[in-house]
Structure 1
Amino acid sequence: MKRVPIKLQTKITVLVIVIVTISIYTTMYFATRQMVSNIQREMDTNIMNVAQVLANSAIVIEGIRTGDYEESAIQPFVEKILATTEQVEVIVVADMEGLRYGHNLRERLGQRFVGGDELRVLEHGDSYLSEATGTLGRQIRAFVPVYDLDTHEQLGFVMTANLTQTIRGIRRQRVITIMLVSSIGLFLGIIGAVLLARNIKKILLGLEPEEISKLYLEKQGMLDAIHEGIIAIDENLQITLINDSATKLLGTQNTDVIGKNVLDVFPTSRLPEVLRTGIAEYNREQVINNTFIITNRVPITDGEKIVGAISTFRDKTLITRLAEEVTGVRLVVDALRANTHEFMNKLHVILGLMEIGELQEAKRFIVNVRENQQQIISLVTEKIKDPAIIGLLLGKVSRAKELGITMNISEDSCLEKRKDIINSNTLITIIGNLIENAMDAVSNSREEDKTIDISIRESLENIRIEVKDVGVGIEEKDRPYIFDRGFSTKEGSRGIGLALIKEMVENLGGNITVIDHVEKGTKFSIILPKGEEL
């Protein structure tokens, strides 16, 4: 069974409740012990103080000295003390024989003292506390001797006490009070834990720790994968984010710039202006370290408040090159340039023949060139209806002638003007890069017959493109990597041509096949399924 992760809010709530519970009940435990100890100490002190007051009272001393418990004023005095104090429950006044002169119950006067713990005060005259069972029940007692003030002779003793049952009741009441207060504190702690957990959850936008970690790793991966430079600042102009591409484009060697003022690191930055105005800037050109960059600057807002700004930028030269690669413009321009170059060469030949007076030869050359050119143009224009592809193929034919390569376009080739998802730019990129690679392979071949065969056939279901050369082929160790971006066997090449082809073919749901024989040539076959016409 898959384990369900515990949510952060639940973890925080449970943790705080546990901590509050442990804290409250630990405090309650020690507070209760201290309270019980204080109660016992306070009551012991109270009964001892009352006993000492009674023992030093003239009424008690004179009453015991008379020897007549019935006529003495001790009992009324004891009853008055019991009625006026809440800190003593039992008072007994006795002589040296243990006969009671004062007691809670008048009918027990003249009877002997009960408990057995009075011997110490009678024999040694000590003042002390003890616990014993008397006629009224189990008691905590305080004994104090009574002395004649004149002769200093011990006449008897005074015993004051509290019933242990009463003491337990007081303790129980105090403990209940503490428990009630602790329970209220625990209840408030639980409410606080829930509110705290909700607040933390809100601050974290409802994300769990695992999600936050995943987002952080994804952010780092995205920053590393993005070729554009990225810089973000907060409302205090301090840099909060910068990626490696930004440090490289801006030419700084110091990557530890987080937390620094953006103007200290990049004095020409316009992010402070965007932060001040709140107006975004798009596709702005800027020169940094002799490099033209295209930059976008956008404010970061939290509701209506601007809390920062972020800038993305990239080398303008690289953008231009990439656009040319993706759209096939570079390939068309190169083809037209080659066509123009071939035309100029032919003009130079004609001009030279005319200068040396070979007019007939010049005429024959013109007719021959016209026929050859017309033959190629007729073949291409009759079979291919897309002007951009026509321009590309004618330019490549001219380029091939300059390199001494024969480029054959299959007579069964056919292509309508594109109106579906397979647009002209896509075909220019695919066909142009395949022909370029074929010409490079053939140029490096030792074969005398340097030919390239091209076939472009369109049916109701698909478009099939085949480019076959008799070049050097692909070495076996390089075959797994020929479609990897950045891989190239040509010096100075950026290795993007075949990678672009593969990406475009896969995006269109097509497939690409490579048949290769080292030193004998390579054949690329591409099938592109046609979509619905627009």
Structure 2
Amino acid sequence: MKNIELKLQTKITILIVVVLSISIANITYLMIELAKYTVQDKIEVDITNVAKMIAQAPSIERALVEKDPEGLIQYYVKNVLAVLEEVEIIVVADMDGIRYAHPNPQNIGQRFVGGDEKRVIEYGETYVSQATGTLGASVRAFVPVFYEGRQIGFVMTGTLIKSLEKEKKQAIFGIVYASSVGLIIGMAGAFLLAQNVKKSIFGLEPHQIGRLYTEKQAMLDAIHEGIIAIDSNSNITLINDSAINMLNVDEKEVYGKNVLEVFPTSHLAEVMNSGKSEYDDEQVINDTVILTNRMPIKRGDEIVGAIATFRDKTEVTRLAEEITGVRQIIEALRANTHEFMNKLHVIMGLIQMDDVEEAKFYIMDITQNQQQIMSFIIKKVKDPTIAALLLGKFSEANERGIQIQIDESTNIEKDHGNINSNMLVTIIGNLVENAMDAISLDRSDKYEKSIDIRMEETENSIEIDIADTGMGIKKDHLDKIFQRGYTTKEGNSGIGLALVKKAVESMGGKLDVSSYDGIGTEFIIKLPKQGGRRI
């Protein structure tokens, strides 16, 4: 029988779904067990506190001493029961077990039933037990009643077992429901991620890629990075075919020569002397702009040489544009998963604080909000890649205290003609990320922190409008923001807006930006679906 080889997309989807399912199942199980004990403990604490309150009431003490001729105890208990939800049974009895108050007035004057009252009568203990009384099986708290130093009776408060089980089931249902919603979202994300990864590798399976690599090894060698290594005397000790081709030199005449004789603009000697690496430095070789990385070669603490790797800047830019879309999707889905885990922690914290009702309200609220967001985006954005990006950006923005608003007129189709979905992800993802950074860096006391997104696709074009209420861009900086490496944010590479401009230009589109310092920024992009250059 022929072995069935699963497709890469299927393998990725199955792996993510299995890991996610196991994680959610374990968390759900732990939360359910915790919820059971939490609900039980909360009920026991509540009924004990109510029993103590009644037992310490002066009116109850006096009435019990006087054998309650006017029925004040029953009247008091009836009023207390009317305002309590979790306490269903309150009984007040004397030392002989004769009831003076009971939810069923017909049982007043009769002896206490259940058999678990002996400890409170004989030893004056305060405790919780389970027994079956006239109203059915219940969890019961017993508290003695004292008057002038001597015990004169006891108070029993309780909740029926069936009511307790109902409370547990409600808590469990809320947890299971939230976990199910999370699992569904995770499965959808896994499918979208696997689909996008498969698309990024042109639909090829691993064995096809392996065969292609073997058959085209010579061609791949020709496009690999150029590599040059020198020794402590700056003489070349290693050079590969790519470097030879870029430098246009003869391999036989290169080895042993000083690097400056072969590559006059090389800075390898300086790197070797300083011991500091240099990354992504631009140089020109034979009218070609290259990006070079240089690193010292060390043997222990001793520098014994240096090595440089370089490649055509045009090729680097093309590869960066292709993979940026995938990175944006991965970061978006990671934010979504992180937000979901945060919500699970909030629910667990509420349950641990015995605030089951608040936990239920929180679960219903986040579920409703998530469903509304998903329904709106899926309805307006039919391209699953962009929809997944927006869902993730919603989660990231929510964590950063920023509100994203998508205009009602938004409409993105699944197929965009000559416009590649990954390029749209690059544009939208980087613009939204830039907007969130601008808002986060704003130290003013603005009340509104929001990003407005409008995307309209027609038969001939796609128009994207993204506006934020961030810190804005100074007028004299507007002509610099699209330069590669320009940034006002600490730790930022300054590549996002440069990639946006490059993507727009490559598709023959138009990009306009307007900004007011301290107010906000708006980017408007129009991409033609016909006549632009294919990516």
Structure with higher Rg: it is: 1
Normalising by structure 2, report the TM-score: 0.46
Higher relative contact order (CA 8 A, sep 6+): 2
TM-score by length of 1: 0.46
